[in-house]
A and B are shown apart, each in its own frame.
Chain A
């Protein structure tokens, strides 16, 4: 009987990241689901064979290499959301099959083929780096498979490289930075020096900030693009910044480079005189502990903050901390919302994942209250319409956190390069 299928699948590799307790819980859910689906088999539009087999969600994330923390956080957020649903959506059981992409486009493509062609997953979510996203674009487009991008922010995928099969639950690189540029001109200073790593995301973020900052009347004293992925010694870059004598500095870094840059910025004494305004990732919760007091006072723009005051977020951060023993970060939020979007689509098609066009159609109306605040998907850019917040790193009860100092309102990616 088909009823064996869910159980046998629990030996599948995904379970590697699960504790024994979780496996038992899943197995229990599987058994319940099986009896449940027998009862509803007659009323269900799809054949009983589809409703017995769990829906498989393929996950492509880096679990090794410099982006491993991001991959783990997104995974944890996604699993937490699905767990809250008892791994059920659209009247069927849901199962995750995860694969490690590192940050290599070729490995990612190999893994995508494995998930879709061998494991027969119904849709895929994940993707941390833009290079990987662009490398996978043709594969998903040509094979007409749905990909929900839970991080990589490359603007092009919302613009000239758009595919009807690729939607994003995270952000476009333009999104948090364009509003921040405008705000910074009016609130921080009118002469900026910009620093970012020399790769796609760095250029996207600098261009967005520069566009609104210049349009408002600000002056850009200089831009520096540092080697990626490893910046090396930050000293020469910090010296270049000081020489230009700006009224503020804009930067985007993430992971270990963010730690190195922000610490050096403080050690060379710049943080005392020149305010640091950055893309939120540079001082996000995943790097703050390592940056320590060097990050104090840093101002950043992002679509979420740990201490963002709304009910969904309060519940989310508590549940996440209980589950993982660490504070949530923006990547976990994106994973969590990805789970929500997926369950929305699956409910909409009543678990019939063969109805690709209806699944795509249902993405147009996705709207809910996320830990980030009101969240909806924009059908034009296939990217979220969401609020952007200005945050400042402050010490609260002995720990550093990003505190929201202003809600800049709702923003949607323009869908073209007209605004940077």
Chain B
């Protein structure tokens, strides 16, 4: 089912080059068309989209129900806070994205490798519990080890990134510049993931999701595949966390809390498990709807809850599931 949806979606994508061109033009022109608040909402949605896409690699493509993905999101935020933050607790080494990005990637990658090598020896609900436990452990460390992590206050003074080539320097300080930075990162990750998913490696992951035993019999070392994708998902979540911390100038223990993991899972499920664009739609809804409804009512959480229940009951394949089904019927 998922595979078929995905190939259909492929065809859809290639047929709609025109749509793609329009989206690109809109994305470039957005800061000149929309007000600054809208732009900041778009930045947030893109950052959470990256985060949700990374979780979808595990949940949607490999069938690994991680409930602790916030661990890597928060790690990314805290690592960038340490490296670039101007604060009495941080190192304030450099704010050059050419250096900080590799540090975040390597940092989250190593932790993901360690956690993945342990957690991936289990399956299903046990995997879920281990990832949750690991994330909550990090959360506790962030809350309690105040001398290093700033405790419940978090770490402040994280600057927006800059590119420094020695002879040429550019800062993404302004909101418009940072917006382009986030858009570029999003596009790069989106197409990067697109390629990975359709590579033999990506197909092997789908194989593991459908029938791990058969893949093993065919000679695939499934554990290595799973560890690789776990590390990749962790690194991308770390990049999203880094962007969020730079956007807010602040890394907070909330970033590591299980509710963020839960939110990401809802984004993936709501949007459509196992499609690239699904988590992006889910992230858009999950970030924008509470923002809009909470302005009008203090009971907004109840409405969100009802909406989620309706979605799960009526659209088990998420919004992408509905869209693709409709498209198929029209044809």
Contact = CB atoms under 8 A, between A and B. Distances in A.
A203 interface: yes
B250 A135 contact: yes
Contacts of A64: 294, 298-301
B273 to A, nearest CB: 25
A199 B144 CA distance: 8
Interface string A177-207: 0000000000000000000001110010000
Contact of A105 (B44, B250, B294, B295): B250
A104 interface: yes
Contact of B151 (A99, A109, A160, A203): A203
A116 to B, nearest CB: 8
Given A99-B295, A114-B291, A160-B88, A137 B156 contact: yes
B157 interface: yes
Given A117-B35, A130-B153, A200-B151, 8 more contacts: A63-B298, A110-B291, A114-B37, A134-B250, A138-B157, A161-B156, A199-B143, A225-B144
A100 interface: yes
Contacts of A137: 156
B199 interface: no
A131 B154 contact: yes
Nearest to A71: B298
Contacts of A117: 35-37, 40
B81 to A, nearest CB: 12
A315 to B, nearest CB: 29
Contacts of B249: 138-139, 142
Nearest to A199: B152
Given A99-B295, A117-B40, A203-B146, A130 B152 contact: yes
Interface in B27-42: 35-38, 40-41
Top 7 nearest A-B pairs (CB, nearest first) are A199-B152, A138-B249, A117-B37, A118-B37, A63-B298, A13-B295, A105-B252
B295 A135 contact: no
A156 B253 CA distance: 18
Given A100-B298, A118-B35, A199-B143, A109 B248 contact: yes
B227 interface: no
Interface string B287-309: 00011001111111100000000
A33 B152 CA distance: 45
Interface in A142-194: 142, 154, 156, 160-161
Most buried by A among B244, B249, B300: B249
B164 interface: no
Interface in B149-163: 151-154, 156-157
Interface string A225-246: 1001000000000000000000
A107 B304 CA distance: 15
21 contacts: A13-B296, A64-B298, A64-B301, A99-B295, A105-B154, A106-B252, A110-B41, A114-B37, A118-B35, A118-B37, A130-B153, A131-B152, A134-B156, A135-B154, A138-B156, A138-B157, A154-B153, A156-B153, A199-B152, A200-B146, A200-B153
Interface in A100-130: 100, 104-107, 109-111, 113-114, 117-118, 130
A259 B290 CA distance: 31
| Main secondary structure on A side of the interface with B | helix
> How large, as a class, is the contact surface on chain A?
35 or more
Interface in A1-27: 13, 16-17
A120 to B, nearest CB: 10
B254 interface: yes
Interface in B122-156: 143-144, 146, 151-154, 156
A188 B299 CA distance: 46
Contacts of A154: 153
B37 A135 contact: no
Contact of A131 (B244, B254, B294): B254
A161 B143 CA distance: 20
Contacts of B255: 106
Contact of A104 (B44, B244, B254): B254
B294 A135 contact: no
B248 A106 contact: yes
Contacts of B146: 200, 203
Contacts of B38: 118
Contacts of A138: 156-157, 248-250
B152 A100 contact: no
B255 to A, nearest CB: 8
B250 A99 contact: no
Contacts of B244: 106
Q: Give the most central of B248, B255, B290, B291: most A CB within 10 Å.
A: B248
A107 B295 CA distance: 12
Nearest to B299: A64
Contacts of A200: 146, 151-153
Contacts of B298: 16-17, 63-64, 68, 100
A160 B86 CA distance: 12
Contacts of B300: 64, 100
Contacts of B253: 131
A138 B154 CA distance: 13
B30 to A, nearest CB: 15
Nearest to B301: A64
Contacts of B41: 110
Contacts of A113: 36-37, 40
Nearest to A204: B153
Nearest to B287: A110
A134 B301 contact: no
Interface in B167-224: none
Interface string A80-102: 00000000000000000001100
B88 A198 contact: no
A376 B122 CA distance: 62
Contacts of A104: 254
A135 B151 contact: no
A16 B157 CA distance: 36
Contacts of A114: 37, 291, 295
Interface in B214-252: 244, 248-250, 252
A53 to B, nearest CB: 18
Contacts of A198: 143-144, 151-152
A139 B160 CA distance: 12
